[in-house]
A and B are shown apart, each in its own frame.
Chain A
Amino acid sequence: MSDITDKEIKAACVFISPLIVLIFLFILVPVLGTLLNSMFQDVAFLDKQFVFLRNFRQLFADSGFRQALKFTLLFVLVSVPIEIVLGMAFAMLMNTHIPLRGLLRACVLIPWAIPAAVSGRIWELIYNYSYGLANFIFTELGITTEPVNWLGTSLGAFIAVVIADVWKTTPFAAIILLAGLQAIPVELLNQARVDRANFLQVFYKVVLPLMKPIIIVALLFRTIDGLRVFDLIYVLSGGGPGGATTSISHYAYKYFLGGDFGYGSAVSVILFMIAFLLSVFYVKAGRFMTGQV
């Protein structure tokens, strides 16, 4: 079996070729195409023209893009930590020995499993100014006297989007973190118990250090996913008001929709570069931290 034979290589080629062909045609070619396009003036009905970095120079002067960039980074910065902390709490709950634990896990899973577009619609109705659930609760409980204009103000829309995203993606973080929790050997926790550590001590001194690598993984996944957020916000707030909740993906999409492929590609390339740099940072951080544990 451990022989490299022509027959094996031939069989391997046959087995991997569908994967290679599909990924090549529908991912690699489009990505390279986008990279190339970002250096062209490529607007519908006009002749394609090589402009090298002009699109990028324009980007930095483009206040709409700067707003999208600022919103996206702020969105990730606020929502990802909340998701991780809440996800950790959910993971610990799902890890306790209670009856119907499977049902609890399934319920937590559901927000993640349904289409973001559907959850966007639900939350849009919840935030509805005149008859949404949020304002009903707020006014009934007397938290505010007037209904809050959730989707009509920049701050309101930002909070609305963050809450909806936390609701939608905390389950994912929780599942990843649960896997990490389950990987902690029970003997270790029992040992800590024998050593008369209380619940909080066990959490801070045993669980958290052991979970560091998996927390990094969850952070990495959520950050990359958060950076390219599109569907939830597109449906929930439409990027408004006045572009206040337009993400980078959304901004690029608008240009694609308008037929300006060069500029849209340039926006996508920037997004890709940010995601790439952050991944490198996380991988480095992960190594550094696990090296210390």
Chain B
Amino acid sequence: MKVELTDITKEFTSLRGRVVALDDISIKIDEGEFFVLLGPSGCGKSTLLNLIAGLEKPTAGRIQFDDKVVADTDRRIFLTPKERNVAFVFQSYALYPHLDVFENIAFPLRIARIEKAEIKKAVEQAAATLEITDLLAVRPAELSGGQRQRVAIARAIVRKPNVFLLDEPLSNLDARLRIAMRAEIKNLQDKLGITTVYVTHDQVEAMGLGDRIAVLNRGKIEQIGTPESLYEKPAGIFVAQFIGSPPMNIIDASIIKADGKLCVVLGNQKLVIPSEKIREIEGLKENHFILGLRPEHITINPPDNAQMLTATIHSVESLGRETAVYLDVDGLAITALCDREGMGKGRQVRVRIHLDKMHIFKGER
């Protein structure tokens, strides 16, 4: 099932007046795609998911499942969640506390008045898929977080939905379980091939799960693309900083011409711009831009003797496999990633900036 959102706007009326939660959003989600909505809290991603589910009504715009219009404000069409046949996994799992696991999974089928034998078969199959067969007689209150999660997913897949919607389903789990469940959700989706929309604020989760990701900020789409394209070619400062950890360095830089060469000024030091980036720099109308540089594109005390900056180590944070080094370059704060020990605080170091990997953003930060 393809899902197509066209010019979706959602406004809320609150005591303080109208708040625009989503502003003119258009997204096309392909058949069988794992699509992630990523953004900070309050960006409107959950609202968007509710709109797809039919739990909320758009202020303007159209939503289609394949060729079927499920919501269209112009034609005053609005189908209920029931008529859309979507499945939803909530952050709190929303299991019915008064029903045991079997009845929780069977609930949508019972509402649809499906035959008893068929319900039993479907529930057992869903339970087997999620390996919770031995929990069927248990009440949700007695389950662990991970088990509840499985029950919630089983309830969602039991009736073969058109679209599978997940709202931050992993954020209530501990870190280890989160990684395991992430892999499992991915596998399940591959196996079932159901179009999936997944909401999260965690960019690692989004990168790991999504075929494509839409990054939302303040009710607007910043960028839609594959995880790689978001990482390699962020469309703006927001995406650049939101994706990747530690986040990309964003530095105010200016351009000068010295000895006939274009140079970037960082602090009191200047670096010659490599040939790959000359054309992009020359395209700028001003001699000022915002330089984006991933921490892994900075090397500290490299063996070679290319052009260097000098910097002071402000602080060091071990991330386990790697070490994040917070540098001070003439008052500019820059983060670098390196894999070596011996980064004493306060030491002076030589720093190689891989300007060929830099991102050039126009405008203000």
- B and A form one assembly: yes
Q: Which residues of A contact B (CB under 8 A)?
A: 1-3, 5
Please name all residues of chain A whose beta carbon is closer than 8 Å to the beta carbon of B12 when the two chains form the complex.
2
**Bound state CA distance, A3 and B81, in angstroms?**
14
Instruction: List 5 A-B pairs, Cβ < 8 Å.
Output: A1-B55, A2-B12, A3-B56, A3-B57, A5-B57
| 7 interchain residue pairs of minimum CB distance | A3-B57, A3-B56, A1-B55, A5-B57, A1-B56, A2-B12, A2-B56
Interface residues on B, range: under 10
* B80 to A, closest residue via Cβ: A7
Interface SS of A by simple majority = loop
**A248 shortest CB reach to chain B, Å:** 44
Closest Cβ–Cβ distance, residue B130 to chain A (whole Å): 28
Looking at the assembled complex, report how far the CB atom of B214 sits from the nearest CB atom of chain A, in whole angstroms: 23
Contacting residues, chain A, for B57 (C-beta < 8 A): 3, 5
Most buried by B among A1, A3, A5: A3
Complex CA gap A1/B57 in Å reads: 8
Bound CA–CA A20/B50 (angstroms): 33
Q: Which residues of B contact A2 (CB under 8 A)?
A: 12, 56
Q: Return the CB mask of B39-55 against A: 1 if under 8 Å, else 0.
A: 00000000000100001
Which A residues touch B56, using CB under 8 A? 1-3
Complexed CA–CA distance, A252 and B301 (Å): 99
When distances are taken between beta carbons in the complex, the residues of chain A under 8 Å from B50 are: 1
> Which residues of chain B (52-72) have a CB below 8 Å from chain A?
55-57
A-B contact count (CB 8 A): 8
Q: Tell me the minimal C-beta distance from B94 to chain A in angstroms.
A: 13
Whole-angstrom distance between the alpha carbons of A5 and B79 in the complex? 13
Q: Which of A1, A2, A5 has the most CB of B within 10 A?
A: A2
**B251-307 residues at the A interface, CB under 8 angstroms:** none
Residue of A nearest to B78 (CB): A5
A95 to B249, CA, bound (A): 59
Collect the chain B residues with CB atoms within 8 Å of residue A5's CB.
57
Q: How far is the CA of A5 from the CA of B78 in the complex (A)?
A: 11
Min CB distance, B51 to chain A, in Å?
A: 10
Report the bound CA distance from A2 to B57 in whole Å: 9
With A and B bound together, what is the CA distance between A5 and B57 in angstroms? 9
Report Cα–Cα, A115/B355, bound state, in Å.
88
Q: In the complex, how many angstroms separate the beta carbon of A9 from the nearest chain B beta carbon? A: 13
How distant is the Cα of A5 from the Cα of B59 in the complex, in angstroms?
12
Inter-chain pairs besides A1-B50, A1-B56, A3-B57, 5 sampled, C-beta below 8 Å = A1-B55, A2-B12, A2-B56, A3-B56, A5-B57
A196 to B364, CA, bound (A): 60
Nearest A residue to B56, CB-CB: A3
Chain A nearest CB, measured from B70 CB (Å): 15
- Complex Cα gap A5–B58 (Å): 11
Report the minimum CB–CB distance from A2 to chain B (whole Å): 7
Residues of B within 8 A of A3 (CB): 56-57
Give the Cβ gap from B253 to chain A, nearest Cβ, in Å.
45
Minimal beta-carbon separation of A3 from chain B (angstroms): 5
What is the chain A residue whose CB lies nearest that of B14?
A2
In the assembled complex, the Cα of A2 lies from the Cα of B55 at a distance in Å of 9
Which of chain B's residues has its CB closest to A3's CB? B57
Instruction: Give the nearest-CB partner of B50 in chain A.
Output: A1
What's the minimum C-beta distance from B72 to chain A, rounded to whole angstroms?
15
- Chain A residues contacting B55 (CB-CB under 8 Å) are 1
CA distance A2 to B13 in the complex (A): 10
Residue of B nearest to A1 (CB): B55
Smallest CB–CB gap between B78 and chain A, Å? 8
Kindly provide the distance from the CB of B359 to the nearest chain A CB, expressed in whole angstroms.
39
A2→B12 CA distance, assembly (Å):
8
* Closest Cβ–Cβ distance, residue A284 to chain B (whole Å): 26
Contacts of A1 in B (CB 8 A): 50, 55-56
Least Cβ distance of B302 to chain A in Å?
56
CB A292 to nearest CB in B, in angstroms, measures 29
Give the complex CA separation of A46 and B70 in angstroms: 69
Contact indicator per residue, chain B 185-211, by CB within 8 Å of chain A (1) or not (0): 000000000000000000000000000
Please, how many angstroms separate the alpha-carbon atoms of A5 and B55 in the complex? 12
| Chain A residue at minimum C-beta to C-beta distance from B58 | A3
A7-B56 Cα distance, complex, nearest whole Å: 13
Chain A's closest residue to B13 (CB) is A4
Identity of the chain A residue whose Cβ is nearest the Cβ of B59 in the assembled complex: A3
B86 → A minimal CB distance (Å): 15
Chain A nearest CB, measured from B13 CB (Å): 8
Min CB distance A101 to B, Å, is 25
